[in-house]
Structure formats: structure tokens, C-alpha cells
């Protein structure tokens, strides 16, 4: 299974050059500041059209990660409404640059809120968003009120959004560090996620600095963390989806991670 497409999360100024430095067929990046509601920006010289053309010419697939601040599940209007707006803005620009997909975290509800409200808010968000490219919901590592940390909550989100118009454009991104830290056993993670979502469209391959079930979102280089190497590789192999390494370092470190993973696939 060495034919899997493996790339990395990279700086956004020139994602195509970053891909070429890693000899990678795909890269993921942010559009602007991941901690800001300011809206997307394309930092590539020449803008969205130039980036799209350069990626096409180089044969590089682009994936966009939505800002961390996006939380469409929350009952807090002051967060949910700007989050929906920000999600649409990123969706629009992702489409302009010819991205394969937009990845977004599952978000969470406040402590006092019923998780079912969060599930329904996800349904409303899917219906309210013009999904110009696939929207991939990513499992997250921490938080008791998270929408996508535990499998039962992911199932709640999926049941709700399956009734939404536009649902066919929603997919799933499985993060190995988040699964481990969130308390999802890696041994049958792919099977159990697929039983809920019917699909895994992208894998975020990350080792975890912290212990199983810790709730800590701390990525580390492959083999340097707590994930059992064989289970880690098995998740990637069984998912059979494109892989994005969100590990520390630059091209040299990422190439070492790719080699570590390919050896075990």
C-alpha cells in the first residue's frame, strides 16, 4: 500500500513550492490567521487564480484547513453566526484556488447545553453553507462537550446532518493524534468511524506527545510519540485516503516522517 498520496501541512505563502520541497503530491494550509475571524487571504503572489494555475501545472492537490475559531455547533450566537460566515468565506476561496476540500473541526457546545442542540446546529450549518468543495469534518482531541471527540457524538452529528440538503458534499477527516488523545482505540478506529460516516476522505497522520485519552492535542513526529507504530500505520493503511502529516518541522522533517510511514505501510 505504498501508493498512498502523502503530503503535509505547510506555510501558506507558496504551498506549491512547499509541496515540491517535500516531493509531495498534496499539501494542506491555512488561508490567513487560524485564530482570527478576519476572513481568508491568499498570500500566494498573484492571488487565487495564480495559485490554482500553479498547483494544476505542478500536479499538486491543495487542501484548506478552516480556522480553529470556527464553531458552528455552539449555542452562543456571538460565536456560531460569525463561524458560519467564516466557514462560507473559506469555502468560497477554497473553491477559487481549486482545493480538493475544506477541513473543519467539529466544534463544541457549552457545558449547560444539550449535545442534541449542537447536532442540529451542524445540520443547519450544512444547509446554510454553499458547499462548493467537499467539507470534511475532523475529529478533535479534547473537551467533554465536543461534537467530534467521541464516536457517539460523531454519530449524533452524522445522523443530524444526513437529513441536511448538501449532505452528499460532507465527508470525514480522521486525525490519528486526536483519536488517540480523545480516547478512541486505534485498533478498530477506521472500521468504527466508517460504520458511522460511511467514509474517510482524508487522514491527518500525527503521532501524539501525550497519553491515550489525555485530551491533549499535541502532535509530534512519527515514532517520537505515544502511538503504537503498528496501529498507527494500520489506521493509515485501512483508511486508504490521502494523508496529511501535521507534524513539526520543515521539508527535511516531513520527508523523514513520510519515509517512516511508508516503511510501515
**Cβ 232 vs Cβ 186: under 8 Å:** yes
> Which pTM was predicted?
0.98
C-beta neighbour count of 234 within 10 angstroms:
18
pLDDT in tens, the chain (265 residues): 458 999 999 999 999 999 999 999 999 999 999 999 999 999 999 999 999 999 999 999 999 999 999 999 999 999 999 999 999 999 999 999 999 999 999 999 999 999 999 999 999 999 999 999 999 999 999 999 999 999 999 999 999 999 999 999 999 999 999 999 999 999 999 999 999 999 999 999 999 999 999 999 999 999 999 999 999 999 999 999 999 999 999 999 999 999 999 999 9
How many separate domains does the chain show?
1
Domain of 101, CATH number, reads: 3.20.20.150
Residue 180 lies inside a defined structural domain of this protein: yes
Q: Residue 230: count other Cβ atoms within 10 Å of its Cβ.
A: 10
* 106 found inside a domain: yes
Q: Confirm whether 136 is domain-assigned.
A: yes
Burial (Cβ within 10 Å: 0-12, 13-18, ≥19) of residue 20:
middle
Q: CA 212 to CA 177: how far, in whole Å?
A: 9
Model confidence over 237-252: pLDDT tens digits? 999 999 999 999 999 9
CA angle 236, 18, 240 (to 5 degrees): 15
Domain extent, residue 166, equals: 6-264
Alpha carbon distances (Å) from 129 to 55, 79, 84, 85, 87? 26, 16, 8, 9, 8
Asked whether residue 1 is assigned to any structural domain, the reply reads no
Could you tell me if 158 and 137 are in contact, meaning their C-beta atoms sit under 8 angstroms apart? no
Cell readout for 23 is: 516531493
Report pLDDT digits (tens) over 5-54. 999 999 999 999 999 999 999 999 999 999 999 999 999 999 999 999 99
pLDDT confidence of residue 264: 96
CA 83 distance to own-chain centroid: 16
Amino acid at each position: 500500500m505504498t501508493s498512498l498520496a502523502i503530503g503535509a501541512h505547510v506555510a501558506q505563502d507558496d504551498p506549491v513550492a512547499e509541496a515540491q520541497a517535500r516531493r509531495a503530491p498534496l499539501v494542506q494550509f491555512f488561508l490567513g490567521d487560524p485564530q482570527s475571524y478576519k476572513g481568508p487571504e491568499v498570500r500566494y503572489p498573484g492571488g487565487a487564480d495564480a495559485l490554482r494555475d500553479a498547483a494544476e501545472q505542478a500536479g499538486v492537490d491543495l487542501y484548506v484547513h478552516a480556522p480553529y475559531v470556527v464553531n458552528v455547533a455552539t449555542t452562543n450566537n456571538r460565536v456560531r453566526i460569525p463561524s458560519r460566515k467564516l466557514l462560507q468565506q473559506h469555502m468560497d476561496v477554497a473553491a477559487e484556488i481549486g482545493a480538493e476540500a475544506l477541513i473543519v473541526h467539529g466544534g463544541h457546545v457549552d457545558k449547560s447545553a444539550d449535545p442534541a442542540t449542537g447536532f442540529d446546529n451542524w445540520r443547519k450549518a450544512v444547509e446554510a453553507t454553499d458547499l462548493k468543495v467537499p467539507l470534511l469534518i475532523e475529529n478533535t482531541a479534547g473537551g467533554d462537550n465536543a461534537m467530534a471527540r467521541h464516536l457517539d457524538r460523531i454519530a449524533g452529528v452524522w445522523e443530524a446532518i444526513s437529513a441536511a440538503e448538501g449532505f452528499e458534499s460532507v465527508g470525514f477527516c480522521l486525525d490519528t493524534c486526536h483519536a488517540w488523545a480523545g480516547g478512541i482505540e486505534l485498533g478498530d478506529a477506521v472500521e468504527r468511524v466508517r460504520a458511522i460516516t460511511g467514509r474517510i476522505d482524508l487522514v491527518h497522520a500525527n503521532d501524539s506527545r501525550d497519553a491515550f485519552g489525555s485530551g491533549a492535542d499535541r502532535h509530534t513526529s512519527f515514532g517520537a510519540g505515544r502511538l503504537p507504530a503498528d496501529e498507527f500505520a494500520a489506521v493509515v493503511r485501512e483508511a486508504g485516503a490521502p494523508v496529511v502529516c501535521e507534524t513539526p518541522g520543515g521539508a527535511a522533517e516531513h520527508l523523514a516522517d513520510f519515509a517512516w510511514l511508508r516503511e510501515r505501510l
